[in-house]
Amino acid sequence: MSKFIFGRYLPLNSVVHRLDPRAKLMLSFCYIILVFLANNPLSYVILIALTVGSILASKISLGFFLRGIRPLLWLIVFTVVLQLLFSPVGGHTYFHWAFINISQFGVINAGYIFIRFLLIIMMSTLLTLSTQPLDIATGLASLMKPLRWLHVPVDTLAMMLSIALRFVPTLMDEATKIMNAQRARGVDFGEGGLFKQAKALIPLLVPLFMSAFNRAEDLSTAMEARGYQDSEHRSQYRILTWQKRDTVTWILFLIGFAAILACRRW
């Protein structure tokens, strides 16, 4: 569990960490769309350059990064193999047996899927590694502001999101503690048959839910005690401001995006 870095934050001091979370969110979003629009080797080279460049700028070591996403590799390999074996006939056929069909078309497609998967995982991991959960919530809230016109309770949603994100690490720690306590009482987590494993989860989940509910209750009491009112217009302690580094990043990425669109096969 501790080797799994997807969705975690890594406190470092780099340009990427200090970027405006709104910029990071929007660029990541555009990036993902571009990943699906890219369809020839040159456009992928540009995407890879953008990705590797961003990782290097974040000061997170490339080795740590690759080791961290290794657990997800099986998922990618699984998808790629499916694509490889069962894609429609096209181009030269290398191998054919019953319904399995490896064709030139399939190989190329599988290659693209592999790269797309990898790139998206790398970029979104970079986003969470370099942005505090609370900043992601603030950024999202700020981006959702126009929805106020449609009477979407943006502030309440943002508050819910930031509370949820805030308590993820707390609950993870809590889960580790409870697991240790139950292991000390002779529970083997992740061993034995499926039924036994599922049964071993009860001593973990019951206390975890108890503690989550207690925490939620304490938190709501504490918020009410300090006069929290729903759907009030709220000011913010940390105000996001546009910086020069945001402009530079936008320009670099937009150049990259334009290059991809220009050289993609239309």
Partner 1 sequence: MAIAFEHVTYTYQAGTPMAHTAVEDVSFQVPDHGYLAIIGHTGSGKSTLIQQLNALYKPSAGTIHVDDFTVTPETTNAALKPLRQHVGMVFQFPESQLFEETIRQDIAFGPKNFGMSEADANALADEMLTTVGLDASYADRSPFELSGGQMRRVAIAGVLAMKPQVLVLDEPTAGLDPQGRQAMMELFERLHREQGLTIVLVTHQMEDVAQYAEQVAVMREGKLIKFGTPTDVFADPDWLRANQLDVPRAAQFAQQLRQRGLTWDTLPLTADQLADQIAARWPAKGADHV
Residues that bind partner 1 (CB under 8 A): 2-3, 5, 10, 12, 60-61, 64, 174, 177-178, 180-188, 191, 202-203, 206-207, 210-211
| Residue 242 CA, distance from chain mean position | 24
92: exposed, middle or buried (Cβ count in 10 Å: 0-12, 13-18, 19+) = exposed
Give least dist CB 28 to partner 1, A: 22
Give the residue with the Cβ less far from partner 1, 191 or 232.
191
Give the residue with the Cβ less far from partner 1, 4 or 36.
4
Give least dist CB 109 to partner 1, A: 35
Asked whether 64 and 80 are in contact (CB, 8 A), the reply is: no
Give the residue with the Cβ less far from partner 1, 64 or 95.
64
Give the residue with the Cβ less far from partner 1, 221 or 231.
221
Asked whether 226 and 3 are in contact (CB, 8 A), the reply is: no
Nearest to 165, CA basis, from 134, 141, 143, 138: 134
> Rounded to an integer, what distance in angstroms lies between the CA atom of residue 109 and that of residue 114?
9
Give least dist CB 128 to partner 1, A: 14
| Residue 160 CA, distance from chain mean position | 19
Give least dist CB 14 to partner 1, A: 12
Give least dist CB 158 to partner 1, A: 28
In this structure, what token pair is assigned to residue 204?
């973990």
Give the residue with the Cβ less far from partner 1, 50 or 60.
60
Give least dist CB 211 to partner 1, A: 6
Give the residue with the Cβ less far from partner 1, 154 or 178.
178
Give the residue with the Cβ less far from partner 1, 40 or 214.
214
In this structure, the number of other CB atoms found within 10 A of the CB of residue 82 comes to 12
Give least dist CB 65 to partner 1, A: 11
